[in-house]
Structure 1
Amino acid sequence: MTITTHSPLTVTLGSSGVTPEDVVAVARHDAQVTVAQDALDAVAKVRAHIDDLAHSETPAYGISTGFGALANRHIPAELRTQLQKSLIRSHAAGMGPAVEREVVRAIMFLRAKTLASGRTGVRPVVLQTMVDVLNAGITPVVREFGSLGCSGDLAPLSHCALVLMGEGEAEGPDGVRYGGRGEPAVAELLAEHGIEPVTLAEKEGLALVNGTEGMLGMLLMAIADLRQLLTTADITAALSVEALLGTDQVFLPELHAALRPHPGQAAAADNMLRVLSNSAIVASHRINDTKVQDAYSLRCAPQVAGAIRDTVDHAALVASRELA
């Protein structure tokens, strides 16, 4: 049995959506990101609608009004860019150590995916700038504490959005830090890679931070890790059966289907049975074996690993719905 991973060199954002494997590829393996033309067209079309709302006399939340308790306050056109900037700056309030680079890349890629859906109201330039930052290997510094989780990963996303504005803190692809005390400004890092900072227009600050990409990114990578660990556990358990001169007959699919038809248990038993297939060691004692049964730790390994697999599958179902 071999453990294989799917790691595309390029991931395209478009109408077809993205997979968990795409997220891992971008977050961990620096896969390049492109934006399909149909996605850019959809983003531009919705942005035109936002512009119409911005020029309308009818109030529109986050476009011509304040946020939250200030939703009834009208914001004149000349102050709307400042409003969006202030939203990002005020919410970039994370504390503690910086989170891992792969987590930040997952956050940014997932938010770019959301922007590419054409439902957030940003201009195409905002989406393209986020993709350019990812492809340049620039990593915003996001702090560990301060997110609201299911109510919105506002702080982590705000720290990412600050970098698009040429502010905040970030690391270049070489690991050099920008934006801290005594360090060059993030705008200089962007300029080194030919990236122009974004000046946010109506709705765009809200669109950049109102999501749960922090939780989702970490969940998707945890699921990928757990699935590889579970496969490794099945292989290890099978080799333990072989080393202790156990039997492979307790892993037959008809037994598990008849007694406890849990999908995860069946998958684990199948893995172990395939590892042990054609084993000369198992075959050597199959006929003259005097043992009544193997130890629990051997014959019930699929039941233990199977319960974990079923739990991971449930988490993956939740993640797939969030990803959609």
Structure 2
Amino acid sequence: MTFVLDGAHLTCEQVDRAAHGSGIALGSTARAQAAWRMAGLLNGPVYGRTTGVGANKDVETEDTGLDLLRSHAGGAGPTIEAFRARATLVVRLNQLLAGGSGVDPALLPVLTAAVNLGLTPPIRTYGAIGTGDLTALATTALCLLGELPWTRPSDTVRIEAPAGDTRNPPTEAETRTGTGTEAGTGDTRSWERAEGGPPGTRPGDPVPRFALASVDALPFISSGAATLADAALACHRLGVLLSAATAVAARSFRAIDASLEPLSPVVQRGAEQTEVAAGLRALVGSTSPRRVQDPYGYRAFPQVHGAVLDALGRAERTITEEMNAAPENPLIAGGRAWHNGNFHSARVALALDALRAALVQTATLSAARLATLNDPAHTGLLPFLAERPGLSGVMILEYVAHSALAELRHLAAPVTLGGAVLSLGTEDHASFTPQAARSALAAAEPLEIVLACELVASVRALRQRGLPCDLPLDPAMRDRPLDADLDAARGLLPGLAP
């Protein structure tokens, strides 16, 4: 389903939707047009427009912007996945709509067309340190210029035209001559008809191009859009998994008849903890407790899981604010250019460091509950939920869970303890937010695996106890490879999120 970008209301969930094929449409470009007109009236030195960049900030230049793009497109490592590159385009487009960059607003419909055609720039993995995604966006700019090829999605991905889109698609004549006009704005799009042309295109396809002016170069790349895209994707996916975690824990509560006393409203404090306890209480329903107190995996669930949801909420709010702001340097506003450091993403890095650390805490409790599910002292069943004495049952799930948990711990290493001094000492700090965002996105897989291990074991325990369980997991109790069970459980997790 198509949604409108307006520079003010983009959410992490929308970034995820767009990354996986949803169409986008442009809202008002008024703020972008106002900044562009203002930029054209500026006098005096303006960083990146009339000067060099970095240590060359005091060197007067003229028409060197395209050289800046070519020199800054040198990333390294493998190209990132198409869905991440697509999310990058969406975030940068939304920021440009917020105004303040001074970029020619005629670029905006061209960038929108690239997203809706499913074309993405070949962004390399390494090149940013938290002071702007210069290599990623310079690469994007060279695609717009036609100096690098766009990357096409696989033929299995279907990109639909935005519903209700009022733009006039380019006619055959327009695509031959390379022009087209967006309805109602007077903005000009550039199109190239691929006739067996650049790699990544097929004959007959319109390829969006835009002749960026020299003065548009730095304003276009002065953003952490790729980092924010990864962070937004991570927050959305982790949010789904953390919601599912409560449903998984509820099955473990029922499987061992854990006490619901720790979930009582009387003992809760803090909004997130209270909400977690209430949600879990509703999912569990009732149990017949066998112990005065259960292990921490049960008794401390509201405290630990409430903390991770609090960290997720803080990260999501921070990222949402940044995606709907103008991180430009210089910022074109109030009739002048304001030189600043708003491209620096320290607050995002700190929020993501806290989130990844909190994920380890909640995953550790899941692994602890898995241990109790294997223990006859808690289930009253055979060790490892085996079919008969002496068999291994689901013993291997503990190994798998702790393997994934070790990866989560590795990914939780804080990036904000690092530092860098670059460009002859002119740029003397770095947040390493791209690394924080990449690690947060990577953390979703091991978290999912830990939860899947607990889910497989809890469902097996419920079935052995003759308790209701309607999940479509293999009911066989014999010793057998459990990889298919884990794959199925991972696929079920999103559906368990309320």
Query: TM-score, normalised on structure 2?
Result: 0.53
In 1, Cα distance between equivalents of 2:202 and 2:110: 10
In 1, Cα distance between equivalents of 2:208 and 2:258: 65
In 1, Cα distance between equivalents of 2:321 and 2:274: 25
Q: What code does the residue aligned with 2:274 have?
A: A
Q: Which runs of 5+ in 1 are unaligned?
A: 1-8, 177-182
Q: What code does the residue aligned with 1:63 have?
A: R
Match of 2:23 among 17, 32, 38: 32
Deviation at 1:27, TM superposition (A): 1.3
Alignment of 1:214-225 (within 5 A): 214-225=226-237
Q: What code does the residue aligned with 1:134 have?
A: V
Kindly provide the CA deviation profile for residues 166-188 of structure 1, in whole angstroms up to 9, marking residues without a partner as x: 12243213369xxxxxx9525x8
In 1, Cα distance between equivalents of 2:143 and 2:235: 29
* Residue 56 (structure 2) aligns with: 70
Q: Which runs of 5+ in 2 are unaligned?
A: 157-195, 325-498
Match of 1:252 among 264, 274, 288: 264
Alignment of 1:1-324 (within 5 A): 9-14=1-6, 16-28=8-20, 30-36=21-27, 38-39=28-29, 41-53=30-42, 58-76=44-62, 80=63, 83-148=64-129, 150-174=130-154, 184-185=197-198, 189=201, 192-256=204-268, 261-277=269-285, 282=287, 285=288, 291-324=291-324
Aligned length: 285
* Preserved CA contact (<8 Å) 1:64 1:202: no
Q: What code does the residue aligned with 1:48 have?
A: R
* Preserved CA contact (<8 Å) 2:12 2:235: no
Kindly provide the CA deviation profile for residues 233-283 of structure 1, in whole angstroms up to 9, marking residues without a partner as x: 111111111111223332122221xxxx13332232122111123x5xx3x
3-state SS in 1 of match to 2:78 = strand
Q: What code does the residue aligned with 1:321 have?
A: E
* Preserved CA contact (<8 Å) 1:14 1:117: yes
C-alpha spacing 1:192/1:86, structure 2 compared with 1 (3 Å): farther
C-alpha spacing 1:196/1:237, structure 2 compared with 1 (3 Å): closer
C-alpha spacing 1:308/1:201, structure 2 compared with 1 (3 Å): same
Q: Over the residues paired in the alignment, what is the CA RMSD in angstroms?
A: 2.5
Deviation at 1:120, TM superposition (A): 0.8
Kindly provide the CA deviation profile for residues 177-212 of structure 1, in whole angstroms up to 9, marking residues without a partner as x: xxxxxx9525x8398443442111142111211111
Q: What code does the residue aligned with 1:27 have?
A: A
3-state SS in 2 of match to 1:214 = helix
3-state SS in 2 of match to 1:310 = helix
In 2, Cα distance between equivalents of 1:109 and 1:191: 26
* Preserved CA contact (<8 Å) 2:257 2:290: no
Deviation at 1:161, TM superposition (A): 1.6
96-105 vs 301-310, greater mean Cα deviation: 301-310
Kindly provide the CA deviation profile for residues 35-68 of structure 1, in whole angstroms up to 9, marking residues without a partner as x: 12x32x3322322222233xx5x34332233333
* Residue 5 (structure 1) aligns with: none
C-alpha spacing 1:298/1:124, structure 2 compared with 1 (3 Å): same
Deviation at 1:129, TM superposition (A): 1.2
Q: What code does the residue aligned with 1:67 have?
A: V
* Residue 435 (structure 2) aligns with: none
In 2, Cα distance between equivalents of 1:26 and 1:293: 46
* Residue 414 (structure 2) aligns with: none
User: Structure 1 or 2: larger helix share?
Assistant: 1
In 1, Cα distance between equivalents of 2:231 and 2:45: 37
Q: What code does the residue aligned with 2:15 have?
A: V
3-state SS in 2 of match to 1:151 = coil
Q: Which runs of 4+ in 1 moved over 6 A?
A: none
Deviation at 1:26, TM superposition (A): 0.8
Deviation at 1:154, TM superposition (A): 0.7
Q: What code does the residue aligned with 2:231 have?
A: L
Deviation at 1:132, TM superposition (A): 0.9
Identity %: 27
In 2, Cα distance between equivalents of 1:315 and 1:34: 26
C-alpha spacing 1:71/1:247, structure 2 compared with 1 (3 Å): closer
Kindly provide the CA deviation profile for residues 302-321 of structure 1, in whole angstroms up to 9, marking residues without a partner as x: 22222222222232232233
Deviation at 1:109, TM superposition (A): 0.7
In 1, Cα distance between equivalents of 2:241 and 2:314: 17
* Preserved CA contact (<8 Å) 1:129 1:195: no
* Preserved CA contact (<8 Å) 1:62 1:202: no
Kindly provide the CA deviation profile for residues 123-166 of structure 1, in whole angstroms up to 9, marking residues without a partner as x: 12211111111110001111111112x21111111112211111
* Preserved CA contact (<8 Å) 2:120 2:150: yes
* Preserved CA contact (<8 Å) 2:259 2:291: no
